[in-house]
Amino acid sequence: MEKKGVLYEKKDDICTLILTIIKHKVMPVKIRLQRRGKKGQPFYHVVVADGRAPRNGRFIEKLGTYNPLTHPASIVLNEERAYHWVMCGAQPTDTARMILKREGIYLKKHLAGGVQKGAFSQEQADAKLAAWKEEKSHKLNEEKLSLTNAIREENKKRLEAETKIKEAKAAALNEKRAALAAAEAAKKAEEEAVAAAENAPAAEEAPAAEDAAETPVEA
């Protein structure tokens, strides 16, 4: 049995590595995700790794990246190398299988099987794969457009709601200010009325005193 380090050094013939692992009945090579990124912001590398290695440990080859935080999720994949590993028998995890299916790796494998059986030619297989990729790209663009429109509509509704709240607050503030102004005016009018009432008797007494002074005293 070859040593572990020797297995990883055979990069020129990847399938030899797979066959050697199967021959010695060890765990198969897997296509899986290795987590990267900060806490709460996951970002993954799609890698080929020995099934015995820790999830985020040593790997044989990096095939691409997967970012689940975008809408839709962003996938960057070396399709040629991914197809090579699938054809060599590497076993993907559930998420990795979803990524490979989305990128058409398993469709390409299925079409290759059809070519081998003589169901259709390689040119026809390539045309079917190209048509599938074009349709997938069209659907992906529609999904992105739909999400963009949904986000724009949501932002519009939120802005309208915020505007209504601001208008309601402004109306309440204006009403409060108007009430205070009316109270101040009423208070001022009351004070003026009280002052006028206090000045009225004094004004009436003054003419009476003048009349008394002008009246002659009888002998």
Boundary residue ending a domain (103, 119, 135): 119
Into how many domains does the chain fold? 2
| pLDDT(40) > 90 | no
**Listed residue (56, 27, 30) closest to 42, CA to CA:** 56
| Residue 170 belongs to domain spanning | 120-195
pLDDT mean over 20-26: 53
* Position 205 confidence tier, pLDDT thresholds 50, 70, 90: low
Q: Is residue 210 part of a domain?
A: no
- Residue 135: the pLDDT is 92
Sign of the Cα pseudo-torsion (181, 186, 190, 195, in order)? positive
Residues 124 and 28 in one domain: no
Residue 171: inside a domain: yes
Whether residues 157 and 190 share a domain: the answer is: yes
Residue 212 resides in a domain: no
- pLDDT score for 66: 95
pLDDT band of 211, cuts 50, 70, 90: low
- 22 and 48 share a domain? yes
Closest CA to 75 of 108, 107, 53, 97: 97
Judgement on whether residues 49 and 19 belong to the same structural domain of the protein: yes
pLDDT above 90 covers what percent of the chain?
40
Q: Is residue 201 part of a domain?
A: no
CATH at 61: 3.30.1320.10
In a domain, 107, yes or no: yes
Least confident of 18-27, 51-60, 105-114: 18-27
Lowest mean pLDDT among 24-33, 104-113, 124-133: 24-33
CA dist 42 and 122 (Å) reads 39
Asked if the structure places residue 207 within a domain, the reply is: no
Q: What is the pLDDT of residue 55?
A: 80
Residue 63 is which amino acid? L
Long-range residue pairs from 80-87, CB within 8 A, at least 24 positions apart, any chain: 82/31, 82/46, 83/108, 83/109, 84/14, 85/14, 85/29, 85/31, 85/48, 85/61, 86/31, 87/112
- The residue out of 101, 119, 137 marking a domain boundary is 119
Tell whether 105 and 125 lie within a shared domain: no
79 Cβ contact partners less than 8 Å away, ≥ 6 residues apart:
103, 104, 105, 108
Structure tokens at 71: 């809408």
128: pLDDT strictly greater than 50: yes
pLDDT of residue 18: 58
Residues 39 and 133 in one domain: no
- pLDDT tens for residues 43-63? 999 999 988 888 888 899 999
Q: Are residues 108 and 165 in the same domain?
A: no
